[in-house]
Structures are given as C-alpha cells and as structure tokens.
Structure 1
Amino acid sequence: MDTFDVMVIGGGPAGYVAAIRAAQLGFRTACVDEFTRNGKGSLGGTCLNVGCIPSKAMLDSSERFEMIQHDAAEHGIDVDGARVNLSKMLGRKAGVVDKLTGGVAYLFKKNKITSFHGLGQLVRQEGEGWVINAAGTEVLAKQVIVATGSSPRALPLAPFGGHIVENSGALEFSEVPARLGVIGAGVIGVELGSVWRRLGAQVTILEALPGFLMAADDAVSKEALKQFQKQGLEFHFSVNITDVQQDDAGVTVSYTEKDQTVTAQFDKLIVSIGRVPHTAGLGADAVGLALDERGFVKVDSHYRTNLAGIYAIGDVIGGAMLAHKAEEEGVALAEMLAGQAGHVNYDVIPWVIYTSPEIAWAGLTEKQAKEKGLTVKTGQFPFSANGRALGHGDPRGFVKVVADAQTDRLLGVHMIGPNVSELIGETVAIMEFGGSSEDLARTVHAHPTLSEVVKEAALAADKRALHM
C-alpha cells in the first residue's frame, strides 16, 4: 500500500491549492478527484470546469456583443448586422476552461503530486494514518484533507433535468431561449440571467426574499436593482413557488406574489437557490466523521475535524462559498500542517458579482457597523465624475467607504461600477493591515484611472472630496 504524508480528497480551488502548497512545503502529496468533463477527469472542481471560469467567459462574450449593438456607435464605430454565433462562443468558453484545467494538471506534475481520478473515500484508521480508497486503489495517508466542495441545491418542485437546469446546464444552451426563467436572485442567478438577456432572451427572475442582494450595502443593492431593471431584467420578490411543470415545449411555473397567483411560461428555467455540501460517497458515516445539521463537515479554527489527522476546508465546511476563500483555507491549512502560522481573515474577504456594472464589497456594510454599536462616517463618490470612466463610456455607479468615526479605521468598502472587481483589492489590503480611510485617501493613485474614485470616496468620508 502506497503511503502519503498528505492526501487531499477533492480537486477544486480548496483541494488543488492545498495539494500544491503541501507539496511546496515538502510533503509527499496526493489528490483524488471525481470531477469528469467531456468523459475524462478534469481538475479544478466546479469553479474551473462549470462555474467561475466558464461563466466569466460567457459574461465577457455577451458584454462585447452588447457593446457592439448599443455602445459602439457612441464611440464613432458603426457596425451593422452583428449576430451571435453561439456554438463558436461556447467553443471559446470551452477553450478557456481547457487551458486552465490543463494548467492545474501541469502544476500537479511540476510539484510531483500524485493524482487519482475517481471517488475518494475514507475507509478506516490504520496506526497513525488513514486508509483512503482513491478511485479503487487503497492508499495510506498520515493526514487527510477533505475538500469535496458543494453541489447546487435543487428545488423539490423542480428537479434538474430537461428544460430545468442548474449553473452548469445554463452555460450549455444550444440556442438562446426566447423566454428564460431564473429562480433565485443571488450572484449566480443574476450573472447567468445577464448573459442570456444580453444575447437576446427575455429574462424573468423570481426571488423568495423581499429584497435584492440583501447581503450588500443598501446603497449598492438599490443602485444595482435600478441598473438591472433598466437593462431589461424583470424581477419579482417575495415569491412563493407553488408548482413547476415541464413538457417538450418548456416549463410552466406557478407562484404567488402579493397574494396574487401567477403562471409563467419559459423555454428554459435556471434554478439557482444556493449550494449544499457535497459529501456523497465520502464515507463520513463509516469512520464517524462529524457533520452538522445541514451536512457540513464540522471543524475548529484550525480546520480539524473530530477525527485526529483529518481536516476539512472549502465549501464543505460552510461559510462564504467563494473560490478565493477556499484557496486561502488550502494555503493556511497546508502551512499549519508544516508548523507555520497559517491564517485567513474572514472579516475582509471580498465579494464580487461580475454583472455589468460589476459589484464588489469587503468588510462591514454601514448597517452592520451600526448594529455592532459603532459610530460611523461614510464617503461616496460617483464614477460619473471620473475622467477615465467617462472616456471609457461607462460612468455608472459609485464607491462607498465606511469608516469608524472615532478611530477612522476602515470598516468596509462597497462598489458598483466598471471594473470594480479589480478595484476592491487595494481596499482589502488596507483593511487587512488595520488601516484608515486617511491611509486610503493619502495613497497616490495614477491619473486618469478608475481607482481615483476609491481615493475620492475615502476623501469624502472627511467631506474633502476634490472633484465633487
């Protein structure tokens, strides 16, 4: 029986990053992953194969099509007869995925990580290690990292299949649906709805909650809803789905809204109501691995489970289901196993929604800060007053800074606008080091850049914005 210092079960962002970092630290490392794409094993998990990466490729392609149709003329570029070649667009998306998943396989080879394709199962404890069934081969691991990720949550009334799809199926439509329904107005639902709306679908989004993006700062969520409705996305809130039926022609959804019963017809229906921990086939019951009432693997602050030598990270332990959060846990845990001080600061993990305009935030919202009993000051600055945004042709949105009124410590930053997924990083760095809004305001930003809006928002927290 082959023996490894570290065996990782799961090859998504948490698992493959943990494996790479463990190998860098000198551990003899292996990874078993069951994800299959195009009939063969493909590392990278949901994120690289059917989630983060392919969805961003489609978002970018659809945004380019929208720009050609509606914005090019403003730049003095006349384009007639633009049309979508969906098969080519999907092929480009697949090429991006192939390059990145192939890159993970290369990194495994470079770092001498043994890779198994198939199901990874906890079998039994043996001495000071654990026997793992790695795709049919039993191996012994001194330490095991469970990183099996999550799966789309199904709606009991609308099981996946046929015209009813989850995120991966929503990236593989063979033609643009004329009428697209989306259940769930969260990150995935809004991103995928935006893709197909730009390509020509009439999109209706049904949400059970009473408001939009309720985890975001109120100012951002209100602006986002206004922008998305202006684009043609149709939203319905406080919706209760009562029946879903499908036939060869499409899907019929019945729901109640404001005490009214509504029936809607769709060609395709995306169900995006969250994700659940993926532990099927792991063997948790067989070895006594403790799960909580929602099925997440229980861990302490050092990612230790109730079983000595077994750890867990990523979506399978709950918290923010974000690839970058999972990656940081992978690095932190590998370094802890090597006796180093691995750490993840969960208070400043950035959130990003890759719509147009983009949405990003980190830290506390104004409401959350006040609920904690803090006295806050805020600063806000619009992209409409920024030269680069105007030159770019996209002056929508703003940056909002939340700081402690007593200490000036930066508590949170919230953005909606062009390229804010790239702008949020510097504010995370300031918060990571306990910096102030003054630190952000005094940092020199190149001109003309979009990042000047971040600086101006920080200046506005002390009512000294220069260009407003």
Structure 2
Amino acid sequence: METQYDLIVIGSGPGGYTGAIRASQLGYKVAIIEKYDVLGGTCTNVGCIPAKALLDSTEHFHQAKEQFTTHGIELSGGELKLNFTQFIKRKAEVISSNVSGLNYLMKKNKIDVHVGRGSFLDSSRLSVTRDGKVTELTAKYFIIATGSKPSTIPGVVIDKDRIITSTEALSLTAQPKSMVIIGGGVIGVELASVYARIGTEVTIIEYTDSLIPTMDRELGKALFKTLGKLNIKTLLSSKVQSAANLGEQAAIRFLDNKGAEQEIFADYCLVAVGRKAYTEGLNLEAAGVETEKNGKVKVNAQLQTNVQNIYAIGDVIDGPMLAHKAEDEAVLVAEVINGQKPHINYNLIPSVVYTWPEVASVGSTEEQLKAQGIAYQSGSFPYSASGRARAAMDTDGFVKVLVSPQYGEVLGVHIIGPRAADVIAQSVVGMEYEVTAEDMYRISYAHPTYSEALKDAYLIAAGQGAINI
C-alpha cells in the first residue's frame, strides 16, 4: 500500500467513509485509518444499525403478541416465544452485511484502508500502529472523523458487566429480567423500547422533567404516554447519585422528583446520558490542532481547524451527534478542499427517534420560538383521525407544524407517529427551498398515506380546517 496521499481520513464511521468516497470521486488519492478490524465506526457496529435491527425485530414480536389476533392472524401450536440467541444473531448478520458493503465501496473507489491507531507526528505526517508495527503516512490534507464514546455522570462507573453502555446492551447473551436506564434521551428510549417489548421490566430515570428533552416538549409528553403502554416506568426530574455492581444485580441510588432518596435494583444498569468526543491517542498537540474545553475539536464554518490542512467533522466537533450530520459535513469538507462552495443549513438537519411510534423533528421547537420572541401559528393533526393509521392500527401520535403568520414560512415540523422518520423528509425539502405552508397543503398527497397528516396540519396552521380522513 502507498504511504503518500492527497487526503487521509481518520475514522471510518458514516462521516469518515462518506468523506473518503466523495474525495475519491473528486479525483484525490485517499486513505482511511480505522483502529478496529472492521469499518463503519460506532453507527454501523455498535450504534444506529444494530439498534434499528433490534428495534425492528422487537416491533415484529410486539405486533405478534398484541395485534395479530385483531388482524385475524392466529398462532397455532403453542405460545409465542422469543429466541434471544437468534434475535442477537440476526442483528450481527445485519452488521456483517453492512461492513461487507463498506469494504466493497473502499475497493470500488480505490481507497486504501490502514488498520491501526492513527497518531499525528506533525501537520503533514501521522503514524499508524497495529500489533507493535508502525507505518508512517503523509498527506496534504486530513479529516478527523474519530466520533464519540459513551459518557457517564459522577457516582456511576461503567464496568461493562452490570453497569453497561449501549454497546454492551446491543450484545447481551441472555434476555435480562430487569433493566434500569439512566437517561431518557434518544439512546435511552430506543433501548428501553427494545427490551420492554420482549418482556424485560424497564425503568428510565431522567434528570430533566421531559423525555427527549432536546426536542419539542409535546413530543416528549406523547412519548411518555406511548412508552407507558409498554409498561416502561419513567421517573422524571430524578437525579442518579450512584450505581453499584452487586454481582448478580446492579443497585442504583437516586433522588426522586420530591428530593427523597430512593434505591432500585435491576439485572443491568444501562448508562445513556450522552456521548463525548473521542480524540484519544490522536496526538493533536503534535499537529498543533486546538480543542475546546469539552474536548471537541475547534473548527471554523468550513470545518477547518486552526491548522490549515486539517479538518474535523461529526461527533468530534460541536453540534448534534447524528450520523447524517457527519455525512453532510464530510461531503462539505471534500468539496471545500476541491475549491467548491457547498453549505449546510444546520437548522434543517432532522432529528429522529426510532421508538414506535417514531419521533422526528426539523427546524425550531415551540420553546425556541417563544424564547426568541418569534411569532408563529401552530397546526396539529392527530393520527387517530388518519385513515391509513387506522388501517394499520397505528393511531398514536400527531403532526405539528409551526408557521410564520406573516409570510407562511415553515419554522418547524414535529411528528410522533408511524413512519415519522420517513415522513419528515418532505418537510425538510420544503423548508430547504422556503416553500410556504400554503404551498405545502396545495400539493397532492397520495391517499391513504401517513404523510396526509402533514397536509392537514398545514391547513390548520393556515387557519383552515382539516379535509382528509
């Protein structure tokens, strides 16, 4: 393999491999550095993809248990059972398939893959160390795409045994009878859904007074109710003080919403309080790259560090930790290096929670608009009034749109309901091209579809009545 490149990407997650591919398409000689034996980073191997595989599997199980009889589907020959070993095996097969796809893309785009830990020697050289063997590489440009790792809180030490992260929760060898999840954000509620659907007793302890607290508060309230239908116990405004491994169980001490000290026991304590930028071993000082106080890499609007030829993207810089954000940033950097002038509208990067019903959001929340003193009109339409949702027995949730009363500009769209992750895309397109609320309700929507709820929400926000069912 060559040792001199136009561009070296450190990290092979969604941001890393997307940046490498785009740079190769633009004619650059590219290498990618990955410290693990497989490509794909957190998202492919221990994050987005395996989580969605388990979420889909458990949703099928839950439907079979709760809805099949109503649909006229009867299970003969015994009770419904979960083969937990096969459940985890299928997740592993999905990961393997994705990794194979990435290997193919690297070969197709003539991208060299160096396996090992990358560490800067200076601003134009880095070493790759694997099993004691060191290879020195040079490049004109670098992209730091090393992602993030799970973080924790004071009093809680992750031992990967009884006090675990999402990584371990996605690969347990047996179904736990009980689980306490610290944190009611995206990771917490998704994994709560996975295990509650298959019969694990799940308790979420959330420090703030709402689930998914970074999203519109109405979404958090609605999700609280839907998770309750899965018998998930959610303790809001509660502060965890400590977690201890007792051998066969974990013990979690916390202050409840009245300030009283409580203790709860479970087979596992899953810590889902967020993630932190991962730059360990990069030796950024040797390259002269500056970092923020929180450990994230400092970048400008072009995602360039203080060192002219070194860029950083994804979880390792400020902003939401989303795979698609990292992908957009990766393409931007490759095109900036190529002399182009791309842009990213960070306000229009959608956020999604893959519970069921799904949650999706783009633009401003009501809370943000109120805090900024921005006038708006709100229109909400419930899925209980949707013919498509009734046919599918998926009537939980709603669509809410926030619109400027002056020009009809769409300020925010917030959905909790079936296929929200897909339905939100239409609003992202509309907002990107500054389509008005009237334009959004005058275009044709196929009937019956989940997306029709959007049309009615826009109609209501514009002061008209809903017309679909």
TM-score by length of 1: 0.96
Mapped contact 1:378–1:401 kept (Cα < 8 A): yes
Deviates more, 1:90-99 or 1:242-251: 242-251
For 2:459 and 2:164, the matched residues in 1 are separated by 46
Aligned to 2:325: 325
Aligned to 1:134: 128
Aligned to 2:248: 249
For 2:378 and 2:176, the matched residues in 1 are separated by 43
Paired amino acid for 1:246 = N
Mapped contact 1:148–1:316 kept (Cα < 8 A): yes
Aligned to 1:64: 60
SS at match of 2:204: strand
Q: 1:406, CA displacement in angstroms?
A: 0.6
**What is the correspondence of 1:92-171 to structure 2 with a 5 Å cutoff?**
92-125=90-123, 130-135=124-129, 136-161=134-159, 162-171=161-170
Q: 1:154, CA displacement in angstroms?
A: 2.5
Go from structure 1 to structure 2 and tell me whether the alpha carbon gap of 1:332 and 1:61 turns closer, same or farther (over 3 Å shift). Answer: same
Mapped contact 1:133–1:139 kept (Cα < 8 A): yes
Mapped contact 1:250–1:265 kept (Cα < 8 A): yes
Q: 1:213, CA displacement in angstroms?
A: 2.1
Mapped contact 1:360–1:416 kept (Cα < 8 A): yes
SS at match of 1:467: coil
Q: 1:178, CA displacement in angstroms?
A: 1.0
Aligned to 1:4: 5
SS at match of 2:67: helix
For 1:371 and 1:196, the matched residues in 2 are separated by 37
Q: 1:155, CA displacement in angstroms?
A: 3.2
RMSD of aligned residue pairs (Cα, Å): 1.2
Q: 1:156, CA displacement in angstroms?
A: 4.0
Q: 1:332, CA displacement in angstroms?
A: 0.8
CA deviations 1:297-334 (Å, max 9, x no partner) are 00000011111211111100121000000000001110
Aligned to 1:31: 32
Mapped contact 1:182–1:189 kept (Cα < 8 A): yes
Paired amino acid for 2:27 = G
Q: Percent identity?
A: 40
SS at match of 1:252: strand
SS at match of 1:458: helix
SS at match of 1:416: strand
**What is the correspondence of 1:318-467 to structure 2 with a 5 Å cutoff?**
318-462=318-462, 463-467=464-468
Q: 1:97, CA displacement in angstroms?
A: 0.5
Mapped contact 1:252–1:265 kept (Cα < 8 A): yes
Q: 1:47, CA displacement in angstroms?
A: 0.2
Q: 1:259, CA displacement in angstroms?
A: 2.0
For 1:209 and 1:218, the matched residues in 2 are separated by 11
For 1:173 and 1:248, the matched residues in 2 are separated by 16
For 2:322 and 2:336, the matched residues in 1 are separated by 21
Go from structure 1 to structure 2 and tell me whether the alpha carbon gap of 1:453 and 1:315 turns closer, same or farther (over 3 Å shift). Answer: same
Paired amino acid for 1:300 = N
For 2:236 and 2:395, the matched residues in 1 are separated by 28
TM-score by length of 2: 0.96
**What is the correspondence of 1:208-287 to structure 2 with a 5 Å cutoff?**
208-257=207-256, 258-287=258-287
Mapped contact 2:210–2:217 kept (Cα < 8 A): no
For 1:165 and 1:198, the matched residues in 2 are separated by 20
Q: 1:458, CA displacement in angstroms?
A: 0.9
For 2:419 and 2:195, the matched residues in 1 are separated by 21
For 1:243 and 1:97, the matched residues in 2 are separated by 34
For 1:214 and 1:166, the matched residues in 2 are separated by 20
SS at match of 2:105: helix
Deviates more, 1:292-301 or 1:446-455: 446-455
Mapped contact 1:4–1:30 kept (Cα < 8 A): yes
Q: 1:247, CA displacement in angstroms?
A: 2.2
SS at match of 1:446: coil
SS at match of 2:98: helix
Q: 1:268, CA displacement in angstroms?
A: 0.7
For 1:59 and 1:92, the matched residues in 2 are separated by 12
CA deviations 1:411-447 (Å, max 9, x no partner) are 1100001111110000000001111111211111111
Q: 1:392, CA displacement in angstroms?
A: 0.8
Deviates more, 1:257-266 or 1:290-299: 257-266
For 1:424 and 1:410, the matched residues in 2 are separated by 13
For 2:212 and 2:142, the matched residues in 1 are separated by 37
For 2:243 and 2:453, the matched residues in 1 are separated by 45
Aligned to 2:81: 83
Mapped contact 1:277–1:318 kept (Cα < 8 A): no
Aligned to 1:19: 20
**What is the correspondence of 1:49-60 to structure 2 with a 5 Å cutoff?**
49-60=45-56
Paired amino acid for 2:111 = I
Q: Which runs of 5+ in 1 are unaligned?
A: 36-40
For 2:359 and 2:3, the matched residues in 1 are separated by 47
Q: 1:459, CA displacement in angstroms?
A: 1.1
SS at match of 1:231: coil
Mapped contact 2:19–2:333 kept (Cα < 8 A): yes
Paired amino acid for 1:235 = T
Paired amino acid for 1:60 = D
SS at match of 1:21: helix
Mapped contact 1:55–1:171 kept (Cα < 8 A): yes
For 2:312 and 2:399, the matched residues in 1 are separated by 36
Mapped contact 2:24–2:30 kept (Cα < 8 A): yes
Q: 1:376, CA displacement in angstroms?
A: 0.6
SS at match of 1:424: helix
For 1:449 and 1:467, the matched residues in 2 are separated by 10
Deviates more, 1:239-248 or 1:82-91: 239-248
For 1:253 and 1:214, the matched residues in 2 are separated by 22
Deviates more, 1:107-116 or 1:159-168: 159-168
Mapped contact 1:358–1:419 kept (Cα < 8 A): yes
CA deviations 1:105-158 (Å, max 9, x no partner) are 110100000101111111114xxxx01113321011000111110000033422
Mapped contact 2:154–2:241 kept (Cα < 8 A): no
Mapped contact 2:157–2:243 kept (Cα < 8 A): no
Aligned to 2:180: 181
Q: 1:374, CA displacement in angstroms?
A: 1.8
Please list every run of at least 4 consecutive aligned residues from structure 1 whose deviation after the TM superposition is greater than 3 angstroms. none
Deviates more, 1:378-387 or 1:410-419: 378-387
SS at match of 1:430: helix
Mapped contact 1:296–1:318 kept (Cα < 8 A): yes
